[in-house]
């Protein structure tokens, strides 16, 4: 599995697919390779949950569901969670309308949608619980250069046209001893609306020392480069175009054997791997204190100066009601999310995600426990 965006799938197809997963009882538990014996998930409540939203977390959700099925089988319970990776916006819309039990989203629910969700969550509010993290690579193809360091400012200038050749003095200053060709830089960006684009542009806004003034959003607003559709599209475009560069989930960079730039946050270039991404997540701050809504202060990740922390990490949320479910739905949502936040995180690093650090996991678990 990979941290990837998939085509929109019909809800019925998703339900059917997940039902097939539920049928393969023994194989499901074994397929994840996860020890479920110490799980605190109760497997109580209604047997079938529904959810929709972020395609970026789709493969993590597959693992969460498979692991949860295994946990509940060991307790002689039959459960299923049908997740439709229809996109973050659609997931939030369906959640507000009460068409799904929870939503997956690359961005926290806020503003008018948050107010609308309060109507759905009778007597409660919508909480954003970050359960899935995936590092984003700044990946490039440049003949003769397989070790490159960039920082927020140079990345911003590449993607808004302020730097147009690889031998630019600003890049050279970060790469002493590296022979940089005068090859023109071709930025490859997402042509479709994307949570990865939104988070990448939020990173540039935070980390570019004022070089990025274009703002953020799901559509690329830098004004330069060539567009390609989807994570697979930008990765394949860079693989076939010397001198090009893109932002893409790490698993796609790995699949296409792209070279990934280190990012300098002030103490030298930091390589992208699970350890360095975990350091950034471990230092994340939340907008609110205490158990409950866990909307992240993304500046605390994107603006990190922690030594050895890789700052460009995409967080995706599960959006749930703090209260307002019926009793069976409450029990099932809490049980599933408890499993997802704990044993469900095992082996996610092999899927292109970053498992929750222990301290972060404790905070998430406390919020799950607080759902009434």
CA distances from 141 to 146, 187, 235, 332 (A): 9, 11, 10, 47
How far is Cα 372 from Cα 367, in angstroms, rounded to an integer?
A: 10
Beta strands in the chain (DSSP E): 48-53, 80-84, 102-105, 126-140, 149-151, 186-190, 226-228, 244-249, 259-260, 262-264, 269-270, 285-286, 296-297, 313-321
Q: Is 208 annotated as a binding residue?
A: no
| Pair of tokens at residue 130 | 């970050």
Q: Which helix (H) or strand (E) holds 270?
A: strand 269-270
Q: Is 196 annotated as a binding residue?
A: yes
| Pair of tokens at residue 111 | 């503003």
φ, ψ of residue 22 to 5 degrees: the values are: -65, -30
Q: Is 359 annotated as a binding residue?
A: no
How far is Cα 355 from Cα 346, in angstroms, rounded to an integer?
A: 7
Neighbours of 343 (CB within 10 A): 23
How far is Cα 254 from Cα 306, in angstroms, rounded to an integer?
A: 25
Q: Is 25 annotated as a binding residue?
A: no
CA angle 171–174–180, rounded 5-degree value: 50
Q: Closest by alpha carbon to 250, among 165, 141, 136?
A: 136
Q: Is 251 annotated as a binding residue?
A: no
The answer to whether residues 126 and 321 touch, using CB atoms and an 8 Å cutoff, is yes
The answer to whether residues 258 and 237 touch, using CB atoms and an 8 Å cutoff, is no
The answer to whether residues 259 and 140 touch, using CB atoms and an 8 Å cutoff, is yes
How far is Cα 94 from Cα 100, in angstroms, rounded to an integer?
A: 6
Q: Is 194 annotated as a binding residue?
A: yes
| Pair of tokens at residue 293 | 């809504």
Q: Is 177 annotated as a binding residue?
A: no
Q: Is 322 annotated as a binding residue?
A: no
| Pair of tokens at residue 323 | 């209260």
Task: Give the annotated binding-site residues.
Answer: 54-56, 88, 106, 194-196
Task: Give the annotated binding-site residues for phosphate.
Answer: 54-56, 88, 106, 194-196
């Amino acid at each position: 599995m990979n941290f990837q965006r998939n085509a929109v799938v019909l809800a019925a197809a998703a339900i059917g697919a997940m039902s097939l997963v539920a049928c393969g009882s023994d194989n499901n538990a074994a397929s994840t390779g996860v020890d479920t014996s110490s799980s605190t998930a109760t497997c109580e409540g209604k047997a079938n949950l529904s959810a929709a939203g972020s395609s970026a977390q789709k493969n993590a959700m597959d693992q969460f569901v498979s692991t949860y099925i295994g946990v509940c089988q060991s307790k002689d319970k039959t459960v299923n969670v049908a997740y439709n990776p229809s996109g973050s916006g659609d997931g939030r819309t369906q959640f507000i309308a009460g068409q799904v039990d929870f939503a997956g989203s690359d961005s926290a629910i806020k503003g008018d949608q948050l107010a609308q969700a309060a109507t759905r969550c009778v007597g409660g509010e919508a909480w954003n619980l970050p359960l899935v993290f995936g590092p984003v690579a700044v990946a490039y193809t440049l003949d003769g250069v397989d070790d490159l360091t960039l920082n927020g400012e140079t990345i911003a200038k590449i993607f808004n046209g302020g730097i147009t050749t690889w031998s630019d003095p600003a890049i050279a200053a970060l790469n002493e001893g590296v022979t940089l060709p005068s090859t023109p830089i071709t930025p490859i960006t997402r042509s479709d609306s994307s949570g990865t684009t939104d988070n990448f542009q939020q990173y540039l806004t935070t980390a570019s020392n004022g070089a990025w003034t274009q703002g953020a959003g799901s559509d690329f607003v830098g004004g330069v480069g060539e567009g390609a559709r989807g994570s697979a599209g930008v990765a394949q475009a860079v693989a076939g175009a010397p001198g090009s560069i893109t932002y893409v989930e790490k698993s796609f960079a790995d699949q296409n054997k792209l070279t990934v730039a280190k990012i300098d946050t002030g103490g030298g270039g930091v390589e992208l791997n699970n350890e360095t991404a975990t350091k950034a997540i471990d230092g994340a701050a939340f907008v609110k204190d205490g158990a409950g809504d866990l909307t992240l202060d993304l500046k605390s990740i994107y603006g990190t100066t922690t030594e050895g922390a890789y700052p460009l990490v995409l967080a995706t949320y599960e959006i749930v009601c703090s209260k307002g479910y019926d009793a069976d739905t409450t029990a099932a949502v809490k049980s599933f999310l408890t499993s997802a936040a704990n044993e469900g995180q095992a082996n996610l690093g092999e899927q292109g995600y970053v498992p929750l650090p222990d301290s972060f996991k404790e905070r998430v678990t406390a919020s799950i426990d607080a759902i009434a």
